[in-house]
Amino acid sequence: MARPGPRGSLGDAGRIVPRSGYTTVLTTLISAAMSFLAVFALALSLSSGTLAQRWSDTLAQTATLRLSAPQSEIGAQTAAVLEILRTTPGITATRVLEVDEQLLEPWFGPDLPVEVLALPRLIEIIESPEGFDAAGLRLRLSAEAPGAVLDDHTRWRRPLVQAAASLRALAWLSVLLLSAAMAAMITLAAGFSLAANAQVIRVLRLVGARDAFIAGAFVRRLTVQALVGAAAGTVVGMAAFALLPVAGEAGFLTGLGFQGIGWLMPLAIPPLAGAIAYLATRIAALRVLRRES
């Protein structure tokens, strides 16, 4: 039966590893940096769906109708279109946009003579929660107002949903890559630590210590350092999001970050980092010890 060590138990094993050294500092810094980045990746994953849903809901409640007609007929055509919209189920309100609301100045400059241009008439449509029959409305418009073109914003909503799914997938992929990078770097740190303490390992073997006991000493020390670094990085990352300016309800980035119970999710990062450090250091330590035995 394998003995736990020359004296004491595995719980005292961490005392044989020197407390100072660049490997322990490196492990702490690596864990802190990776955990900090993981907080941002996790926030992006949670926020992408919220932002896309908010933008999609905003577009889903409105539609736009563009009416093109000769200037002599534009008034009558507009009145006919408004009557069609008024009698269409699912439409709660309509509004004819003024020329200055069509945002032409950013594109053509302030000196554009809009009064002499044959600009199309834009009508904003506000839908009920149930929505309206877009296909049926297009048929009515084609018969009574051929110059009217309905945009129900479907082509704008679909890319938002697809972009949100892609962002979420990339965010989780980033978390996995950060975990893999952390494991690789901590494995290298464990190898360096074992090499730097070769004399200690030889003495322990001379007094009868088994490889499992020696590996446990290094695993314990580096795992604790990884937990400390991951906790620090997570706290700093969460503090960075907590200090972000609060956007208004109509703000473009409203919903970016953690909301409600989502603030609890980053707390899983330090235990995960500790588990990764434990597995990486134990595998590395046993492999190095087996090679040098």
Task: Say how far apart CA 157 and CA 232 lie, in whole Å.
Answer: 40
Long-range interactions of 248-252: CB distance < 8 A, separation 24+: none
At 256 the pLDDT is 66
pLDDT, averaged per 10 consecutive residues of the chain (293 residues), comes to: 43 54 81 91 80 66 80 81 87 77 51 57 81 83 82 71 79 86 83 76 79 81 89 93 66 63 89 89 82 68
DSSP state of 246: P
Task: Supply 218's token pair.
Answer: 């290094």
At 7 the pLDDT is 44
Name 65's bridge partners.
Answer: 123, 150
- Give the angle subtended at the CA of 25 by the CAs of 22 and 189, to the nearest 5°: 65
At 4 the pLDDT is 44
At 76 the pLDDT is 84
At 252 the pLDDT is 46
Task: Say how far apart CA 116 and CA 154 lie, in whole Å.
Answer: 33
DSSP per-residue letters across 94-120: EEEPPGGGS--HHHH-TT--GGGS-PP
Task: Say how far apart CA 49 and CA 92 lie, in whole Å.
Answer: 28
User: Under 8 Å CB-to-CB from 200, ≥6 apart: which residues?
Assistant: 16, 17, 18
Task: Say how far apart CA 282 and CA 2 lie, in whole Å.
Answer: 17
Element (H, E) at 63: strand 62-67
At 236 the pLDDT is 95
User: Under 8 Å CB-to-CB from 60, ≥6 apart: which residues?
Assistant: 127, 131, 153, 157
At 32 the pLDDT is 92
Global pTM reads 0.63
